[in-house]
Amino acid sequence: MRILLYSHDTFGLGHLRRSRAIANALVQRWPDSSILIISGSPIIGNFEFMQGVDYIRIPGVTKLTNGNYRSLHLNTSLEDAVQLRQSLILETVQSFEPDIMIIDKEPTGFHGEVIPALKQARMQGCRLVLGIRDILDEPALLIPEWERKGAVKALVEYYDEIWVYGLKDIYEPLAALNLPEDVQKRVYYTGYLNRDMPEIRIPRNYPRIVKQPFTLVTTGGGGDGADLIDWVISAYEAKPDLNLSTLLVFGPFINRSLQKTFLERIAKFPRLDAILFDNKLEVLMQRAEAVVAMGGYNTFCEILSFDKKALIIPRTKPRLEQHIRAVASERLGLVRHLNDDGIRDPHIMVEALERLSTQGKPSEATIPGLLDGLARIEERVSSLLPQLKRESAQDAAE
């Protein structure tokens, strides 16, 4: 079996880490399979993949502060970068000949770059799946965005199944789109993607602070996490005797000048420390007593998987995804959340950090199927395989 995963990765780590978790799970279930990830992430080489999984890195693009995009490294126009990416994706489909192709989040890819590959995959008899996280955005923004991208049209024309990596009882990300009935029948809710501890081949060199009970603060990729980092540091500045050890993980995309300033402030407090990035963050997550995070999809899955007390401080721009997830999960008793009001009173953060010790764990809220995501994905792949075998046999007979 050959499976191809597409992850556009214009910003952050979320799409890549989700694709990696799925790929590693599938190759564990089917050890003789070959799984290939197409990604635009500039740091995909920092991650380890299981035997049977490999990746192709296409030229990166990045989002500017005004919402526009540009080529990340190449000295070329965005249009030329997209054309190159599109050609590489199409050639990969033609050469790799996948049995199943899983597209992450964007039905037509970045700027429509995956459409030619979808057409080619269809001609080759490949099964096409769209995989989306539990929450995309608020309906007022999602509807015009998907109309502009021709996303619903792509669902109708190309996709055999749509996998929602969440629970219907928590949120229905496509409910506002008024999808045709035959498309709605292709939607499967998997539950959240459970995370396991990665294999540690070389001992990790962590700061001394992790040898005692500590709170982990993570901002994912870090490109938009500076406000959270600043707020946590300000809590220690407001209350220097705060009796709580905290490790901050900046993320690989943090602004370098801000990183330097943060480290200078952190150095003044013995109970506060920081690292830039850890490609096996699950290890720190498991060791931590509690977690403070912005609440992106992958971090949320890890909080549930390792059953950690968590405080979520979601971003609200450019999407409300994290805010919607934080509110819904707090309602169910899984986490607590704190809104960033733009003022970021240090004393409010002090109180929030101190309350973590008395907070309940996610496991205290019983929600059936909450972490069944990877198992359900394996079931869906198993259901697609007999169809592929039947069609292959028919083609051979003809």
In the predicted model, what is the mean pLDDT of residues 128-134? Answer: 97
Q: Provide the number of structural domains found in the chain.
A: 2
pLDDT at 293 over 80: yes
Span of 9-13, 355-359, 384-388 with lowest mean pLDDT: 9-13
Residue 95's pLDDT band (cuts 50, 70, 90):
very high
Q: Locate 40 and state its tokens.
A: 């635009």
What's the CA gap between 325 and 135, in Å, rounded? 7
* 357 lies in the same domain as 375: no
Is 199 among the domain residues? no
* 212 lies in the same domain as 360: yes
* 291 lies in the same domain as 271: yes
* 63 lies in the same domain as 114: yes
What's the CA gap between 167 and 370, in Å, rounded? 7
**Percentage of residues in the chain with pLDDT exceeding 70?**
95
CATH code of the domain in which 216 resides: 3.40.50.2000
At 394 the pLDDT is 63
Whose structure tokens read 């999808």? 179
In the predicted model, what is the mean pLDDT of residues 37-57? Answer: 92
Residue 10's pLDDT band (cuts 50, 70, 90):
low
For 38, 125, 199, the CA distances from 114, given in Å and listed in that order, are 11, 17, 33
In the predicted model, what is the mean pLDDT of residues 97-126? Answer: 96
In the predicted model, what is the mean pLDDT of residues 149-153? Answer: 95
Pick the most confident of 40-44, 174-178, 197-201, 222-226.
174-178
Mean pLDDT of the chain: 92
Residue 47's pLDDT band (cuts 50, 70, 90):
confident
* 139 lies in the same domain as 182: yes
Decide: helix, strand or coil at residue 228. helix
In the predicted model, what is the mean pLDDT of residues 154-180? Answer: 95
Burial of 306 (0-12, 13-18, 19+ CB in 10 A): buried
* 274 lies in the same domain as 337: yes
Q: Locate 269 and state its tokens.
A: 């407090």
Q: pLDDT digit string (tens) for 85-94? A: 999 999 999 9
Is 200 among the domain residues? no
In the predicted model, what is the mean pLDDT of residues 150-162? Answer: 96
pLDDT at 304 over 80: yes
Whose structure tokens read 């191809």? 4
Beta pairing partners, 249: 218, 275
At 318 the pLDDT is 79
For 212, the domain range is 208-364
What's the CA gap between 128 and 204, in Å, rounded? 39
* 242 lies in the same domain as 117: no
Is 35 among the domain residues? yes
Residue 348's pLDDT band (cuts 50, 70, 90):
very high
* 66 lies in the same domain as 119: yes
H or E, element range at 37: strand 34-39
Burial of 270 (0-12, 13-18, 19+ CB in 10 A): exposed
Is 201 among the domain residues? no
Euclidean distance between the first and final Cα of the chain, in Å?
22
pLDDT at 65 over 70: no
Is 202 among the domain residues? no
pLDDT at 366 over 70: yes
Which has the closest alpha carbon to 33: 81, 98, 104, 125?
98
* 298 lies in the same domain as 166: no
Beta pairing partners, 127: 100
Span of 4-13, 233-242, 344-353, 384-393 with lowest mean pLDDT: 384-393
At 222 the pLDDT is 80
Residue 395's pLDDT band (cuts 50, 70, 90):
low
pLDDT at 190 over 90: yes
At 396 the pLDDT is 55
pLDDT at 66 over 80: no
pLDDT at 392 over 80: no
Residue 203's pLDDT band (cuts 50, 70, 90):
low
Q: Is the dihedral of CA 88, 94, 97, 98 positive or negative?
A: positive
Q: Is the dihedral of CA 122, 127, 130, 131 positive or negative?
A: negative
* 375 lies in the same domain as 360: no
* 137 lies in the same domain as 61: yes
CB distance 231 to 346 below 8 Å: yes
Return phi, psi of residue 133, to 5°. Answer: -70, 175
* 21 lies in the same domain as 119: yes
Which has the closest alpha carbon to 308: 333, 327, 289?
289
At 42 the pLDDT is 86
> Can you spell out the DSSP letters for 240-272?
TT----EEEE--TTS-HHHHHHHHHHHTT-TTE
At 62 the pLDDT is 84
In the predicted model, what is the mean pLDDT of residues 332-340? Answer: 96
Is 149 among the domain residues? yes
Is 203 among the domain residues? no
- Residue type at 29 in one-letter notation: R
Is 386 among the domain residues? yes
The overall longest dimension of the chain from CA atoms, in Å, is 78
